[in-house]
Chain A
Amino acid sequence: EAQVTQNPRYLITVTGKKLTVTCSQNMNHEYMSWYRQDPGLGLRQIYYSMNVEVTDKGDVPEGYKVSRKEKRNFPLILESPSPNQTSLYFCASSLPGGSGELFFGEGSRLTVL
């Protein structure tokens, strides 16, 4: 089954404790992206990657890091989480051409205390 898998789905952590949210897709998509969703603000892009070893900042990259060492994986790293990073995070992937239809993971709800 074609899918984007994120882990963990839910996480409560404390300020400053490094964490990684993993994202994996099995559709051989070149393009992958991370979004955060907050009430009233819609989906805001954090980072995106056009292919292996190619990443770029989205609209809200501060406090986040990413890496793309393999085509299927695109982890999101919070080196020192802060409460303002409490949010719902979505990973998505797509082929680069055509409609660029994004396939989203189920989301990761992160709470930073």
Chain B
Amino acid sequence: GQSLEQPSEVTAVEGAIVQINCTYQTSGFYGLSWYQQHDGGAPTFLSYNALDGLEETGRFSSFLSRSDSYGYLLLQELQMKDSASYFCAVRDEYSGAGSYQLTFGKGTKLSVIP
């Protein structure tokens, strides 16, 4: 099975930078994803890391260290609209079966304050 740990809540100031960490324990690790969910809405895909290093998409970046079973999501130039829950998710792949499961962390609620 898999388990993921991420902080339950984070508060940051508008215009600042915030980092949301995610540590995981899994077998057959394939990649780490991040999703954003606003209150009352559906999760939406933000980023994906299969290899070590930093992936940048606009104000958002995601980092992965496979050897440390650790990743983070970095949000820069925070805006009020970034207030949402952020979920890390681990994909593990069972070769041969050709199947995979995606397991989500419990989510980090980010509050951006003026």
Q: Which residues of A contact B (CB under 8 A)?
A: 33, 35, 40-45, 48, 50, 54, 56, 58-59, 90, 96, 98-107
Contacts and interface: CB of A to CB of B under 8 A. Distances in A.
Interface size class, chain B: 20 to 34
A54 B89 CA distance: 23
B87 A42 contact: yes
B106 A45 contact: no
Summarize B's interface: helix, strand, loop or mixed: strand
Interface of B: 1, 8, 31, 33, 35, 41-45, 48, 50, 87, 89, 91, 98-107
A42 B106 contact: yes
B43 A45 contact: no
Contact of A106 (B31, B42, B98): B42
A59 to B, nearest CB: 7
B24 to A, nearest CB: 13
B79 to A, nearest CB: 23
Contacts of B100: 96, 100
Contact of A56 (B42, B99, B105, B106): B99
A45 B99 contact: no
A43 B104 contact: yes
Given A48-B101, A101-B48, A90 B106 contact: no
B54 to A, nearest CB: 16
A100 B42 contact: no
A33 B43 CA distance: 13
